[in-house]
Amino acid sequence: MFKKHKKLWIGIISLITVLIVGFAGAGYYFYNVAIVPGHKSFLSKKQPLKKSDPLYRQTKWYNNAKKEKWYITSTDDNLKLDANYIPAIHKTNKTVILLHGYMNTKDTMGPYAAMFHQLGYNTLLPDARGHGQSQGNYVGYGWREKGDVRKWVNKVIKRNGKNSKVVIFGVSMGGATTMMTSGQKMPKQVKAYIEDCGYTNAKTEIEHEAQSIYHMPAFPRFPLVEVLSGYTKLKAGYFLNDADSLKQLKQNHKPMLFIHGEKDTFVPTKMVYANYHASSGPKELWLVPGASHAKSFATHPSEYQQKIEKFLNKYVSKK
């Protein structure tokens, strides 16, 4: 039968080979685009600080603040991870851990550190693995980082005592990391979570970006993202679907405040509704008028701080 249809079989095998090689090459390319840390052409370049910036005062404060260097080693890949720690003006057992977004660093969380400093908190700003001064050659999209956050919490408790009260706060990928962190067993000293514009699932977010940036229709996008997910498992130890905020939130029973800009197109605003409904603990939702991705604080600085202060006053005692 093979001899009778030899040309047909050769054509089919050749086509399959071309498709496999093509998808493998595309998967490798998108792995370097989405997972390997480095400059990303689809992200806005960091602009120099100007007095017209709505968070100028907060950023200036952070730049001038005296910082302690803290380090931990990740339990899985033995990576040295870096953080800045800024004690509160008055001694306190309240500490917030601030988690930055994709291809950002701890320093981009400076304005948030200023806000929490004003609220009387110690602030810890880690560089996620593969970002800033932390080691790592891949982005974990919150899934690999969640264990690192738990280790930072333990370091806070060791430094500030068993009576510590810890809040975990994140923006964008840091928001997703916050949600994924909430679904694992955490020390009792963790009192509340705040997430700002985090995604529901890394695979869903990457599919959204593939369509938004590369204008890929549904059919070719699906196998490419699956191939990318396979590369990610091979190189970084997780499938993209593993990084799922919704599954983790179902296991969270602690208070969480969800914040999302109404004009967010990078992480679509609709994702926050799914995240909010998935959480099993006390929860609040604030949709920020006129705010695009990760711009809620800059769009409404005073109201942003007031919302957070009111939320924390409910769940983190002042004593």
**Burial 75-100, CB ≥16 within 10 A → b, else e:** eeeebebbbbbbbbeeebbbbbbbbb
Between residues 87 and 15, which one has the greater pLDDT?
87
Residue of 233, 246, 315, 250 whose CA lies nearest to 275: 246
Which positions ≥6 away from 92 have C-beta within 8 Å?
120, 121, 122
What pLDDT score was predicted for residue 46? Answer: 78
Point out the domain boundary residue: 190, 218, 242.
242
Q: In what helix (H) or strand (E) does residue 283 lie, and over which residues does it extend?
A: strand 283-288
Angstrom distances, CA of residue 86 to CA of 65, 73, 117, 121: 8, 20, 8, 9
Alpha carbon distance 153, 135 (integer Å): 19
Give the total number of structural domains in the chain: 2
CB 241 within 8 A of CB 203: yes
Q: Which domain holds residue 300?
A: 56-201+243-319
Asked if 135 and 6 sit in the same domain, the reply is: no
Q: Are 140 and 155 within one domain?
A: yes
Is residue 41 in some structural domain? no
Do the domain assignments include residue 26? yes
Domain of residue 254, CATH code:
3.40.50.1820
Same domain for 89 and 135, yes or no, is yes
Per residue in 5-44, pLDDT (tens digit) is: 555 544 444 444 444 444 555 667 888 889 999 887 777 7
Kindly state whether residue 216 falls inside one of the protein's structural domains.
yes
Same domain for 144 and 250?
A: yes
User: 140 with 20, same domain?
Assistant: no
Residue 245 contacts residue 200 (beta carbons within 8 Å): yes
**What does pTM read for this prediction?**
0.91
Structure tokens at 230: 């396979």
Residues 153-209 have pLDDT tens digits of 999 999 999 999 999 999 999 999 999 999 999 999 999 999 999 999 999 999 898
Instruction: Tell whether 44 is covered by a domain.
Output: no
Least confident piece of the model among 5-19, 45-59, 156-170, 263-277: 5-19
User: Tokens 């430094």 correspond to what residue?
Assistant: 159
